[in-house]
Structure 1
Amino acid sequence: MSSIQTTTIQADTTNPILKLRGSHLEPNTSAYPELDKKGYTVVRNVLSKEKSSSYVDKAFDWLEGFDKGFKRDDRSTWKPESLPAFSRGGLFNRHGAAHEQWAWDIRSEQNIIDVFAKIWDTDELLVSFDAVNISLPFDQDANFQKDAWPHTDQSPLRRHKHCIQGIANLVEVGPKDGSLLVLEGSFELYNEFFEIHDKDAPPEGWSWRDSFLPTNDQLQWFYDKGCKWKKIEAGPGDLILWDSRTIHYGGNAEGDSIRVATYICYKPAKDILPDALERRKNCWDELIGTSHDPLLFRETGSIALGPLTDDERLRPLQRPVLSDRAKQLAGITSY
């Protein structure tokens, strides 16, 4: 194992449940040097094409199971009104999506776990209960959120290497297809930006929430520094990784290409605070989703946010069956 760095974090008095311990492991990205050079990388062929295809089939089974009119083989049904509620081009964090069996099966794939085990120098990990993405190429006049939404998934209060996020990509995505877009060079400028723009903080200060949405003027600062948008191209079974300080967003599907992916993030189990662990167990008991960070998370989904309609499905139709390894990843069985 390589040497481990630690970072001391000032106590977060606004929300003690969400703060880390006084010191914690930083991600060890030496196995994936592009993460330190560019802020993102693609680990190729983590899952086989055959396995990826089987997960795509299960994703479409899930959509068809809502009986809203969507049929995978009938292009005329590929419209928002034939689908359960989603955000952006196809982000599903409602309807118990985070706890569907196929989503858990992907989280439990050993080859994916091994990638994050290298990053954290341990295989004793917890995983997020995060969303899935099934983006269809809708017609131009379709009613859905089409705008870009550049953001980081790290609080301005955290200015160190804190979290590596992942996308299990299940289909071919090229330069014209829906995929992750990253603002190249933005993560290297993260600290400088907040030092210069400290006056932009709201009166109550920067939020502890691991999310920051820059304004157009703030984005222009990055453009003036030479940062440019890049769409990540990946194949079925590839794992996309990025440093949470990187400005990014999910692009909509274009042309005739679909996008099917799941969001996954792992961190060391030993670093979670007892209160947060109890909250994780409750999320599992109630089948509630979480935001990306397995340790510093927020509850998401239909139960946490409230349903949009009276007939909204709150949980999966069937509770997922977890393997012994998945129970450890969920935090309901200790290592």
Structure 2
Amino acid sequence: MSTQTFTSTTTLGSQPQAILQLRGAHPTPNTNAFPELDRQGYTVVKNVLSSEKSIEYVKRAFDWLEGFNKGFKRDDRSTWKPENLPAFSRGGLFNRHGAQHEQWAWDVRSEQAIIDVFSKIWDTQELLVSFDAVNVSLPFDKDANFQKESWPHTDQSPLRRYKHCIQGIMNLVEVGPKDGSLLVLEGSFELYNEFFETHDQDAPAEGWSWRDSFVPTEEQMQWFYDRGCKWKKIEAGPGDLILWDSRTIHYGGNAEGDSIRVATYVCYKPAKDIEPDALERRKKCWDELIGTSHDPLLFRETGSIALGPLTEDERLRPLRRPILSDRAKLLAGIESY
């Protein structure tokens, strides 16, 4: 693993530099425009959305949360309690209640400036987008009842040992060193192949799963720590797009102090690469307003309908069906390029 240190941000139009040599002959994303993805596994693309747009999306996110009428008020800190919010996971990951298909979530993923970033990665504007979750993390009191522990994982199957997917977080507020944000294990993506090549004995009896998810044990994490990998919290401003290689071990940190986190998860891949049955499943997910995991092509169904509600009164879908622009219909896969 390289011992060089690289900056954690890049700008549109950066010139390609040294590229990590990757194994595998499968089609892979072209990250020449964002060379840090090949050097360190993550980067921050600055000012993809304007601060004005970011502020408006934050307002709409809080409108949505207040609309559940559970007692949460954005201007009353005393109401910032898990019991005053619809069900979420971890510090503020909302992948239930049809959150993936709220109008504001669709409007974010339809922003041409975000699409343009992924168009550079895949050398095409003909993309499909994930029906992914949103994140609103509030700094709860220390005795609040919610999942506080870290949850290191990768969003790539151990069977895919090559550059396969670039994930994204559209960051809508300022996140600093103590705020809720993405944490990445620096150096872990470079060790991805070596880890699985030397840990065949850790595979379950039926073999590694095709599902794009791997959750290391504490012992397996120690293997990465022993090779110099260290945790880094990604700092970003409103309108910045955080990108990372899916082989990078990561998790979402909880909000601390007085700062909130508002973000959406965005991931795009070429429409031409989807299998016909997966395209039909995408159309079904749109028809029924079901969410999906990160990869727009090899996805799992997520959300209240797919997983089943936690309570009898859980909202399964948005109150209003989102209205898609012509561009969004192409991104959804319900119309063809």
Identify the TM-score tier after normalising by the shorter chain: over 0.9
Aligned partner of 2:184: which letter?
A: V
Q: Which amino acid aligns with 1:114?
A: D
Corresponding residue to 1:240 among 242, 249, 266:
242
Q: Deviations over 1:101-138 (max 9, x none)?
A: 00000000000000000000000000000000000000
Q: How far 1:198 moved relative to its partner?
A: 0.9
The amino acid of 2:89's aligned partner reads S
The partner residue of 1:278 within 273, 277, 280 is: 280
Partner of 2:220: 218
Instruction: Kindly provide the CA deviation profile for residues 78-100 of structure 1, in whole angstroms up to 9, marking residues without a partner as x.
Output: 00000000000000000000000
1:177 corresponds to: 179
Task: Determine whether 1:48 maps to 2:50.
Answer: yes
Aligned equivalent of 2:315: 313
- Residue among 127, 130, 133 paired with 1:131: 133
Structure 2 residue identity aligned to 1:330: A
Which amino acid letter does the alignment assign opposite residue 79 of structure 2? Answer: T
Look up the match of 1:13.
Answer: none
C-alpha distance in structure 1 between counterparts of 2:177 and 2:32, whole Å: 28
Look up the equivalent residue of 2:43 and give its one-letter code: T
Distance 1:309 1:183 in 2: 35
RMSD: 1.2
* Counterpart check, 1:115 vs 2:117: yes
- Map 1:156-167; keep pairs closer than 5 Å: 156-167=158-169
Length, aligned pairs only: 317
The CA deviation at 1:207 is 0.8
Letter in 2 for 1:231: K
Instruction: Give CA deviations for 1:3-38 in whole Å, capped at 9, x if unaligned.
Output: xx9955xxxxxxxxxxxxxx5x31000000000000
8 Å CA contact retained: 1:167, 1:264 = yes
8 Å CA contact 1:6, 1:26 repeated in 2:
no
The CA distance in 1 between the partners of 2:78 and 2:202, in whole Å, is 46
Can you list the C-alpha shifts for 1:194-227, whole angstroms capped at 9, x where unaligned?
A: 0111111111111111000000110001001000
CA distance in 2, matches of 1:320, 1:35: 33
Residue in 1 aligned with 2:9? none
Distance in 2 between residues matched to 1:280 and 1:201, nearest whole Å? 30
Query: Against the structure 1 CA distance between its residues 7 and 322, is the aligned structure 2 distance closer, same or farther, given a 3 Å change threshold?
Result: farther
- One of 189, 192, 207 as aligned partner of 1:190: 192
2-structure distance, mates of 1:285, 1:205 = 34
Q: 2:131, 2:291 within 8 Å by CA — same for their partners in 1?
A: yes
Work out which of the residue numbers 28, 35, 39 in structure 2 matches 1:26.
28
Partner AA of 1:92 in structure 2: F
AA partner of residue 336 (structure 2): S
**Counterpart secondary structure, 1:219:** helix
SS in 2 for 1:205: coil
User: Paired residue for 1:81?
Assistant: 83
2:156 equivalent among 154, 157, 161: 154
Q: Which amino acid aligns with 1:266?
A: Y
Identity %: 85
Matched AA of 1:206? W
- Is the Cα–Cα contact under 8 Å of residues 7 and 26 in structure 1 kept in the other structure? no
Quick one: distance in 2 between partners of 1:319 and 1:6? 43
Q: Is the 1:179–1:251 contact (alpha carbons within 8 Å) kept by the matching residues of 2?
A: yes
Does structure 2 conserve the Cα–Cα contact (< 8 Å) formed by 1:267 and 1:295? Answer: yes
SS of 2:243's equivalent in the other structure is: strand
- Show structure 2 runs of 5+ residues with no match: 1-15, 17-21
Q: Answer whether contact 1:56 1:170 (CA < 8 A) is retained.
A: yes
The answer on whether the counterparts of 1:150 and 1:249 sit within 8 Å (CA) in structure 2 is yes
Give 2:331's aligned residue. 329
Q: 1:51 to 1:147 in 2, by over 3 A?
A: same
Residue 23 of structure 2 contacts residue 161 of structure 2 at CA under 8 Å; is this kept in 1?
Answer: no
For residue 181 of structure 2, what is the amino acid of its counterpart? S
After TM superposition, the runs of 4+ consecutive aligned structure 1 residues lying more than 3 A away are 5-8
* 1:144 corresponds to which of 143, 146, 160: 146
Structure 1, unaligned runs of 5 or more: 9-22
Deviations 1:263-305 (A, max 9, x none): 0000000000000000000000000000000000000000000
Tell me which residue corresponds to 1:266: 268
Paired residue secondary structure (2:327): helix
- How many Å separate the matches in 2 of 1:320 and 1:205? 40
* Alignment TM-score, normalising by the size of structure 2: 0.93
Which letter does structure 1 place at the counterpart of 2:91?
A: G
